[in-house]
Amino acid sequence: MEGDADLIATGGKKKIKKKKRKEEPEKDDVEEEDVDDIIAEYGLENYDEDEEVSSPWDGIAGLTYYASNDDDPYITLKDEQDDSDNEDFTIKPTDNLLAVARVQQDCTLLEIHVYNEEEANFYCHHDIILPSFPLALEWLNYDPGEQQTGNMLAVSSMEPTIDLWDLDVIDCLEPTFTLGTKVKKSKKKKNSATAAGHTDAVLDLSWNKEARNVLASGSADFTIGLWDLSQGTMVTSIRQHKEKVQTLEWHPFEAQSLLSGSFDQTVKVYDCRCPNDTHKTWQLKGEIERVTWNHFSPFHYLASTDQGFVYYVDARMDKPVFTLSAHDKAVTGLRLSSQVPGLLVTSSADKAFKVWDIENNKPECILDKQLGMGELQCVADNPDAAFVFAIGGESALKVWDIRESAAVRKHFEGRNGSNLVNGAEVPMDVDAVSMGSLSLQPKDSQPQSKDLDKCQTEEKKKKKKKKKKKPMGTQ
């Protein structure tokens, strides 16, 4: 076999049987057959057609017995996460809402937090991106559009306008409406306000709970504006302060009485039926930071200054009842308990939070605590929980039940708000008590918004008469 192989390889003389070769197909035919095979194998003929994508679960769809997993007794792990989220999103009757303005590096947020004392819950329900840096927040349950109860929040800023947001609307991009108009820098004037509103930043807001369509605003243009929310216009501009109006508050029981404090170191009380003619002034030491009425004693109010002092004043008297050196720096927060008489809390730029007892006009410090939140900027009381306060700091927010302090629990134990004046009780034993040129009246005889409008109409008539007397060319 090896020889045969050699012969075959070398082409020797030995006879070799030749095999007949098969005819080879042409090259083009081979390529076409290969292409057809590839198309058939991968189904490329229907490549451009949309196919219905079947689910891997289609085959077992007929095996389901219960329409919902909640009905299946064998599925014990329910969708607890979804239930928890829905529960947090629902506002309960026992919940309190807290509006917080938070400034971040890239934006400014208005956060709506939910606090529940019974369940010890505190969380952010939703937030709103604000267009500008906020200076003051004021809640009101008056819906100007419907002229009924609502859940609105007024927000002021460095602009001369006031934005009103509907807190019942989630993910809203713009306020429900805006009070006032923006003024060009070239047209801004100090100590002035136009018919449309303020001409400088709005520093504080106060809603009138008795005349529910009235909102007061204090501005850096030295004026106080009284707004009729039903019309969306400023109906009165009060020009009595000589500097920026930093703080103001309506009387809790009298619709016409307004308290204000200014950088000019004065506190004023107005009868807003004729505010520019009827008011009383107290000169204090330092720029006024905060003012608040004592709802347990309607004739008295408290005022704090940038010098660290707190003044307790009887509005019928010319001098303070007492002066308290409360802090080393500006007193930025000043609130009374909603239900416990004499319980006062203060916060300050010196980073301290203090609890005071001012009952019987003898102030006593019960608690002095550093909260570790930087400079404290504001404090608010809870209308439903006597000892719960919200404190806003430079770096954090804290909602605190001050009964966690043993000293507070021991001192205020047994004291309640049984003598708290409320809307159903007449706060005074007499019909009216003189307060200089101002008169505080019982709730039954309070003027409502119509009385305010009547007075404002009379003021406008007086102004028109004065204008007629002016010579031509006088501005």
Whether pLDDT at 466 is above 50: no
| pLDDT tens digits along 93-103 | 888 999 999 98
Whether pLDDT at 431 is above 70: no
Q: Which amino acid is at 48?
A: D
Residue 351: its pLDDT value, please? 96
Residue 162: its pLDDT value, please? 96
C-alpha to C-alpha distance for 148 and 273, rounded to whole angstroms: 24
Whether pLDDT at 234 is above 50: yes
Cut 0.75: pTM above it: no
Q: Looking at the domain 134-166+173-423+430-459, which fold is it?
A: Methylamine Dehydrogenase; Chain H (2.130.10)
* pLDDT band for position 112 (cuts 50, 70, 90): very high
Lowest mean pLDDT among 143-152, 265-274, 279-288, 439-448: 439-448
| pLDDT tens digits along 160-210 | 999 999 988 888 889 999 999 887 665 555 555 556 789 999 999 999 999
Residue 191: its pLDDT value, please? 57
C-alpha to C-alpha distance for 348 and 395, rounded to whole angstroms: 14
Given a contact cutoff of 8 angstroms between Cβ atoms, the answer to whether 151 and 168 are in contact is yes
* pLDDT band for position 85 (cuts 50, 70, 90): low
Q: What is the mean pLDDT of the chain?
A: 79
Lowest mean pLDDT among 41-45, 258-262, 293-297: 41-45
DSSP 243-300: S-EEEEEE-SS-TTEEEEEETTSEEEEEETTSTTTSEEEEE-SS-EEEEEE-TTSTTE
Whether pLDDT at 10 is above 50: no
Percent of the chain topping pLDDT 90: 54
C-alpha to C-alpha distance for 97 and 201, rounded to whole angstroms: 27
- Report domain extents, the chain: 134-166+173-423+430-459
| pLDDT tens digits along 383-424 | 999 999 999 999 899 999 999 999 999 999 888 753 444 433
Pure H helices in 60-160:
80-89
Exposed (0-12), middle (13-18) or buried (19+): which is 48, by Cβ within 10 Å?
Answer: exposed
Residue 472: its pLDDT value, please? 34
